[in-house]
Amino acid sequence: MAIDSMLQRQVMGRFATGVTLLTTRFDEGVLGMTANAVMSLSLEPPLVVVSVDKKNSMHECVMRGKCFALNMLRADQEEISRRFAISGPKDFSGLRLTAAETGAPILVDAIAYVDCKLVEILPGGDHDMFVGEPIAGEVREGEPLIFFGGEYR
Ligand SMILES: Cc1cc2nc3c(=O)[nH]c(=O)nc-3n(C[C@H](O)[C@H](O)[C@H](O)COP(=O)(O)O)c2cc1C
């Protein structure tokens, strides 16, 4: 029998991760969402994955825009993570933003970003895994924001 979801949260919460601001661009505009279910899937060909809850507005927006960017947050960007982890309209005010290839917002002050074309959608229960082909990216200096045991480190 499967373990309950609370125990799964606690166990997987012991797996320390970085934190990203997942962004997308679609017809009506742009959207951002905090995400840590992120993985480098393949190098040949280059592929990355982000897992998104089907209930989140980000899910429909990535499906529409067929692109996404992952911005790896810096240690002092906890406020950005909190701001984009709240359901509903997202506030990009005060952020230094640019765009790369797809038009998804790129955070100038993040420690790295990867800008992707959506190439596949893999089903996973109440989430879908969006597989992206990176078409632009950059690495910058700085320490990462860490998420562990449900807290920022
Ligand atoms: C540290 C952290 C990581 C998160 N990672 C994910 C994730 O990988 N996938 C996901 O669907 N939601 C994730 N969430 C939850 C979303 O950020 C949250 O549900 C958000 O409010 C969704 O907004 P939306 O419904 O407007 O798209 C995470 C939240 C936090 C605080």
Q: Which atom from ligand 1 is nearest to the alpha carbon of 20?
A: 3
pLDDT digits (tens, 9 = 90+) for 57-104: 999 999 999 999 999 999 999 999 999 999 988 999 999 999 999 999
Q: Name the band, by pLDDT with cuts 50, 70 and 90, for residue 1.
A: confident
Mean pLDDT of 11-35: 97
Q: What is the pLDDT of residue 89?
A: 85
pLDDT at 55 over 90: yes
What's the pLDDT tens digit per position in 122-134?
999 999 999 999 9
For residue 68, report the distance from its CA to the centre of ligand 1, in Å.
Answer: 15
Tell me, in angstroms, the distance from the centre of ligand 1 to residue 138's CA: 23
User: Is 34 within a domain?
Assistant: yes
**Can you give the pLDDT at residue 134?**
98
Total structural domains within the chain: 1
CB of 17 sitting under 6 A from ligand 1: no
pLDDT at 64: 97
Q: What is the pLDDT of residues 25-48, one digit of tens each?
A: 999 899 999 999 999 999 999 999
In a domain, 8, yes or no: no
Minimum mean pLDDT range among 10-14, 17-21, 54-58, 86-90: 86-90
- β-bridge partners, 117: 67, 133
pTM for the model? 0.97
Domain contains 80: yes
> Which atom of ligand 1 approaches the CA of 61 most closely?
27
35: domain CATH number?
Answer: 2.30.110.10
Give the domain extent around 50.
18-136
Q: How many residues does the chain have?
A: 153
Q: Does 3 fall in a domain? A: no
**What 3 state SS string does 72-133 have?**
ECECCCHHHHHHCCCCCCCCCCCCCEEECCCCCEEECCCCEEEEEEEEEEEEECCEEEEEEE
